[in-house]
Each structure stands twice: as C-alpha cells, then as structure tokens.
Amino acid sequence: MKFDMVITGVGGQGTVLASRIVARAAMDAGWQVRTSETIGMAQREGCVVSHVRVGENLAGALIPDGRADVLLGFELAEAARALAKLKAGGKAIVNEDVIVPTSVSAGLSRYRVQDIREYLEKELPGVCFLRASEVAREAGNSKTANVVMLGALSTLPGLPFSPEGLLEAVLKTVPSQFRETNRKAFEMGRRAMGVC
Amino acid sequence: MAVAEKMLLMGNEAIARGAVEAGVQVVTGYPGTPSSEVFGTLAHFAKEYGYYAEWSVNEKVALEVAAGAAYAGARALVTMKQVGLNVAADPLMTLAYIGVKGGLVLVVADDPGPHSSQNEQDTRKFAQFAKLPVLDPSTPQEAKDMTVAAFDLSEQLGLPVILRPTTRTCHVCQDVTLGPLPATRNECRFDKNPGWVILPGLAYKKHIWLNQKQKEISRLFSSMPFNRAEIKGKTGIITSGVSYNYVVEALEMQGWEASLLKIGTPYPLPEDLVLEFLSRVERVLVVEEQEPVVEDQVIHLAWRHNLPVGVAGKHNGLVPREGELDVDRVTAILYKYFGFVGMEQAAAGNTVRRAPDLPLRTPVLCAGCPHRAVFYGFKEALKDYDPVFTGDIGCYTLGVIPPLNALDTCLCMGASVTIASGLSRVEQGRKHVAFLGDSTFFHTGVAGLINAVYNRAGITLVILDNGTTAMTGHQPHPGIGRNATGDPARRIDIAGLVRGCGVDYIREVDAYNLQEVMQAAREAVEYEGPSVVIARRECVALAKPGVRYRVNTGACIECMLCVENLGCPALCREEKVVISEKCTGCGVCAQVCPAGAIEEVSRHEV
C-alpha cells in the first residue's frame, strides 16, 4: 500500500499541523509515514506545500510529480500551483477562500479568481470546493479551517485510516481547551462534503 | 518524549532524541533554519533528563562552550546551520588538532535549495577541510541512529564528529523507532595536560596525528551499517544522504536495476567498501546534492588503484551542483545515464494544462509587525537624504520586499553594521543606516558596533528589538530575562550595552509611534559619529492582539497610501480599502492615512 497526499496553502493556515495530524492518524493505523513541510523564512503569507506519504517501504519524503493520490488545497491559487503533483484521476478538495497576497495590492501581480477556478474545474473533474474558513467560523473559530478540511478529507474513499482515527488524531494534537471546537469543525467539514 | 516504541518525530526532534539516548550532558547552539528544532527540543527536555542547555550568542561561542565540556569528558552537542559553521570555523579548525575526551558532536544542518539561507555551502566540504568525520543521514530514523553512533565514534577517535542533516531530513517527519535511555553518564573531570595547549610545536605533531587518523576513520567507516552495498549488475550508483531515497524510488518507479552503494559517511570515504564496489561494476554514477564530495573521492580512489571504471556525476554535467534533488530530477538523470533517448516517459504521469497566471506570493512581515513601522518611518523621514539602508539576517530581511523596498544590502549575521561602516568610509556626505534585530545584535552586531565607535564611523544603527529571535521560531536571547530552559536570567539591557560600547547618541522609541520613529531617524542621521536608535515592540506573533482598526468608508479618499506603502497583509484593496481580521491593532495605518479615515473599532463592537 502506498498513499501520497499534498497539502498546499498559505503560511499561517495550519497546513503543517494538518500534515502532522494526517501522519499521526496513519501511524496509529500501523503504517510507516513521512511528511515534509515548509518551515522557517517567516513563512507567514508565503506559499506552503506539505507532503504526506503513507505505506510500506517508504524512501524519501518528497512526492514526485503526478503521484499524489489526494490534493488538499487550503487556498484557491495555491491549489492551482500544486496541481502537477496530483496523479491522473486523483481526488482534490479545495478551499475556495481567497488570500490575496500583498504583491497584488502593490500592483506587482494579479489574482484572477474566475480564471483559476475555471482552470481547476476543467483539470479536476469532480473537484470539491469548500468555503472552509466560513465553515470554521460557524464552528466557533476561523482558525479551525484546517480541521474543517481534514473533516472533508475523511469522507474520501481509500484512505489509510478511518474517519474516527483521523478525528482522534485531531483531538490528540490540538490543545485541550479547543477540542470541542475542533470536533465540531471536523464534523462540519464532513457534512460540507455532502453538499459540494 | 515519553518512552514508546514508535513516535512521529521531525528529523530535528529525532536528532535530539538520539542525543538523549546517547547520554548527552551539555547542549549549546544558535538558532538557524533548518537546524533550530534540534536545540529547541533538547532545551525543552533538559530538566527532565538532567543535562545543561544554553542558546549561545553565536556559533563560535556555542562550539567553545561545548568543547570545554568535552575536554572534561562530558558528552556535548552543538547545533547550528551551515552558515553558522563559518562563525565557528576558527575554534573548529584547531579543535581537530586538540581533540576531545568526551564525545563532541556538531549538528550542522545544510540547506540545499536553498529554502531559507544566504548560500548553499556544503558542510561535508568543511568536514574535509577540518579533516573531521561527517555523517550524512537520509531519514529522521537514520539521523537519530547516527547521533547515537556519532558520540561513540567521537570518543573512540578522540575527535569531534559532524552530523550534517539537510532540510529534507531536518524538516521531515517519520515514524521513528526509539532506543533505550542511558543508565549512566560520563564522569567529568578536566585533567591538566600540555596536550590541551596549542603551541606551534604541538600543532605540528598533532597535524601528523590528524592526518594519520584519516585512514583509521576510513577503515572504521567501511564496516559501519550506514554504508552498505547491494550488487545487481555491472552498472553502479553511489549515493549519499537524502539522494539515496530519490535513487531508490526512481529505480523502483521505472523498474530499473543497478548495483547500489549507499554512503552515510561521505568523509572520509569508506575506501575498502568503495573499492570492493568499484571492482564489481564497469561504470558508476555518483548521485549527491551540492558539491562532488563523494564523487571526487571516488575518482581519486579509482585513479590510485588503476581501476577501469567510468565515473559519472557532477563533473560530466549529469548531476546538478546547485539546488535540491528529488525523485523527478533523479529520474531524468538516470534516463540520461542509462542511455535512454526521449525524456517523455520520464516526465510526470499526468499532463496538466498550464495554469493561468497565478499571483506572486512571497513571505511578508506579519500584519502588525513592528519592523514595518520602523522601516516606513525611516524611509519617510529620510526621503530627502538618499540614504543607504544596510540589512541583516532575521525576519526584518523581509523589509526588502515591495512595497517597503527598505533594504539595500544583506550579507550575513551582524554585517549590517560593518557594511554600513565600510560604505561610510567611501561615501562621505551620505547617510548610512544599518538595521538589525535584538538577537543579531548579541550574535555579532555588538562587535561591529564597538568597531564603529572605536573608529568613529558616522553611521546610524537601528536595533529592531522585538524581544525574541523571531524568524527561527522565537528562541530567547540575553536581552529577554529568560534562558533556554525557561528559567529567569539576568536581562542584558541593550541600551546599557550600547552605552557601554561608547555610543553617545541613543534614542529608545516605540516602534508603533511613527512620529517618534521619524524624529529619532532625522536626529540620529544628523548626529556626528555613531548613533543608535532602539525601536521596541514585542513580536506580534507573541503579543496578545489589541483592538482592531477599520476604514471609515465615508472619510476614505481612496488615495491608497496605506495599501501601496505599508504592505500590511491585513489591508486589502477590494472596491475600497478593507481591513481584514488579520489586523492586530498596531494602528500604524491610521497614522499613515492623510484623511484620518482609519479608526479603532470600539471594544463593544468587537
């Protein structure tokens, strides 16, 4: 068994924590794991790509192009940027919330939301778009958008852990006072997948 | 770090765990990505496992403290990144002659890419230069196992040992199998002996000793489990560090077979093992990141032994000498090496259409970062001066990014002061303003400042004091009043230290108060002789968020000054300017707004 997943987003969105949670769930299910994360260089607001690999006889932590089974996009443009990692027929869940970089305000580049969305829809038949940050706010804390995304992930078939196992890894990882909010965010993420 | 069979550990945490398993007694370091979490983890567990841990002011100091402990027989570990080793180079080169009694392990993390560094220098070259053994782990598990082995090796050889992980080991998480914790620790006592005093006569003798050691180490390495060969035919691949993983996966993906030699000890080369491998193959490809350290030694060995084996790698342009490798890059290299024509099959399994133009996204100073206000204030205040702003290493290096465009130079830790001093010698009449952070000031900035005072360089130094070492993950330093293990410490007052260096003009300002910053900027550059401005505000990532601000759309004249000049990620240009929930309430945009249209959100509205 081999399962490769790419999580992509913007520094500060909790992608690193999400990759740790997924790795922990897979490890608790008895698999070998590797993650590779972007840390340092004041990564707030910068692009972040986390690789999570699960299975047997794993070698390196970097997923080759066209090999990821799942792409979890925490931000619209960043999902498009990482698309080459996904294998043909791979599954993708994309947070359609947009984080406009300061380079756009400074007039150095443009954020063409509609073009990017159309590109993703064309390249990823069956892509699920979520408003994860909004769902997280409803769950009680906008910072739990990463856990909303994990809840959504847990509905996909063929994962190397059960939805219960993933939720347990979430609850084991987040600070105790935020457990209930995160449980709610996870459940709401699951439900959101039913409507997309 | 509870005792368990397996734990999800980052490579840096795995190294820390290895040090604990090896019975480490003294740990020192200076933060630097990708190495920082090695020490961070060790400091966290220092009390539980009973060893000493300190963040030192720079890498030279860190190495010297660790070496002192090892002189007395303690097991000591020092952590830094590749550029930090330059700072520690002076003690290192002589320490190789002096040697150690207790195990001394230097963890020096390399950053091929580079992801967060000024250069891509290869620590294995430094090991070769210093004639010290170096271990090159390919995974977090191996990094842990090598750390334990490095202490034993160091004591066996009486030499410091370098463990050189790279970013893709340091910041990779793996299910790591833990080993037992030590029952005993080394007993420590420093025995006086002329052998500890490096005089020229001793240096000569020890140089001979060190050269002879190289062969002994090479022989020892040939039987170490970190080096192993698997023979599958006449075509061979020799690979080191994380590249080993990429080679294994590329071969597996393509269904190719080759004889494979994994090298975990790139210097000195395990010659017996490599010779045996070279005698079994007709040609060999060396795959390693950065410099041809293994490749050069393989070529040398084949030549010395008249072996009819072709060596390919960096010297024939097959393997790049810059940047990181990955499976895709290695696959392409293997395609060429195996002589396949048409790279199409090696390309990725999917064919994605080119994405539409995506927005440029660089890391930026956080919303509410106090550095932003200081850069903005100095730029505004000195508009009519054409000043040079020299920068340094830390979060504030990001002041170079538009729209701030506030920095003109950046070289290495502490160099803002010295570069400005140098410029001031040849650009009379121009204003030279150096910016550095509080931790960097303690690291090497203070030496540059003393030099500037002593030689009367007419520069302005701006110390951006946010009360932490922010970029590498908020490590403490002597200006904070707390040490690495969280205990209270005597706080070294930066202003007092600056005064002690002989600076007569010192202004302490609130980084969020633009008027204050701008007035100090004008005064400081007009002052004859060195002047220092200390701009204070806690790092916004550690501060509790204050009130928020909003744009009064009725009053906004849409001049866009706030958006276009500050580059705050909380300011968004929609139809009008909007302040997002990222706002931390620093209020700098409100001071910049010429229309007074940015106002506090009153508490009862939040």
CA–CA distances in Å: residue B234 to residues B284, B300, B310 = 9, 20, 11
Neighbours of B201 (CB within 10 A): 9
* Contact present, B407 and B362 (Cβ < 8 Å): no
Which one of A76, A105, A127 would you mutate to disrupt binding with B, by most B Cβ within 10 Å of its Cβ?
A105
Cα distance between residue B477 and residue B489, in whole Å: 10
Mean pLDDT of A78-91: 95
Closest partner CB to B245 (pick from A27, A60, A103): A60
| Neighboring chain A residues of B176 at a CB cutoff of 8 Å | none
Amino acid at site B104: L
Mean pLDDT of B248-276: 97
Q: How high does pLDDT run on average in chain A?
A: 94
Chain centre to alpha carbon of residue B47? 26
More confident residue, A142 or B71: B71
Q: For chain B, what percent of residues have pLDDT higher than 90?
A: 92
Give me the pLDDT at residue B301, please. Answer: 98
Which one of B6, B8, B333 would you mutate to disrupt binding with A, by most A Cβ within 10 Å of its Cβ?
B8
- Name residues 226-285 of chain B within 8 A of A (Cβ): 242, 244-246, 248-249, 252-253
Q: Are strands B6-10 and B172-177 parallel, antiparallel or unpaired?
A: antiparallel
b/e A26-60 (16+ beta carbons within 10 angstroms → b): bbbbebbbbbbbbbbbbbbbbbbbbbbbbeeebbb
Give the containing element (helix H, strand E) for A69: strand A68-73
Structure-token match 């004859």, residue found: B528
Q: Radius of gyration (Cα) for chain B, nearest Å?
A: 27
- pLDDT, tens digit, 9 for 90 and up, residues A120-171: 999 998 899 999 999 999 999 989 999 999 999 999 999 999 999 999 999 9
Q: How high does pLDDT run on average in chain B?
A: 95
Judge: B34–A84 Cβ closer than 8 Å, yes or no.
no
Tell me whether the omega of the peptide bond preceding residue B530 falls within 30 degrees of 0, making it cis: no
Search chain B and give the residue with CA nearest A21: B8
Structure-token match 């501060």, residue found: B543
Question: What is the layout of strands, in order, in the sheet containing B531-536?
Answer: B388-390, B432-437, B460-465, B531-536, B505-510
CA distance B350 to chain A (A): 5
**Coil vs helix vs strand at B482:** strand
- Give a three-class secondary structure readout of B60-100: HHHHHHHHHHHHCCCCEEEEEEHHHHHHCHHHHHHHHHHCC
* Contact present, B349 and B442 (Cβ < 8 Å): no
Neighbours of B140 (CB within 10 A): 30
Give me the pLDDT at residue A107, please. Answer: 84
Q: For residue B468, is pLDDT > 90?
A: yes
Give me the pLDDT at residue B606, please. Answer: 52
Which one of B243, B249, B351, B358 would you mutate to disrupt binding with A, by most A Cβ within 10 Å of its Cβ?
B358
Nearest to B369 by CA among B556, B508, B598, B571: B571
Q: For residue A68, is pLDDT > 70?
A: yes
| B225, β-bridge pairs | none
More confident residue, B353 or B325: B325
b/e B14-26 (16+ beta carbons within 10 angstroms → b): bbbbbbbbbbbbb
Give me the pLDDT at residue B415, please. Answer: 96
Judge: A60–B327 Cβ closer than 8 Å, yes or no.
yes
Cα distance between residue B265 and residue B164, in whole Å: 10
Q: For residue B343, is pLDDT > 50?
A: no
How much is the ipTM here?
0.93
Give me the pLDDT at residue B348, please. Answer: 47
Nearest to A76 by CA among A28, A24, A130, A21: A130
Mean pLDDT of B343-350: 49
- Taking the model in full, what pTM does it have? 0.94
b/e B151-163 (16+ beta carbons within 10 angstroms → b): bebbbebebbbbb
Mean pLDDT of A41-57: 88
CA distance B278 to chain A (A): 25
Q: For residue B525, is pLDDT > 90?
A: yes
| Neighboring chain A residues of B398 at a CB cutoff of 8 Å | 42
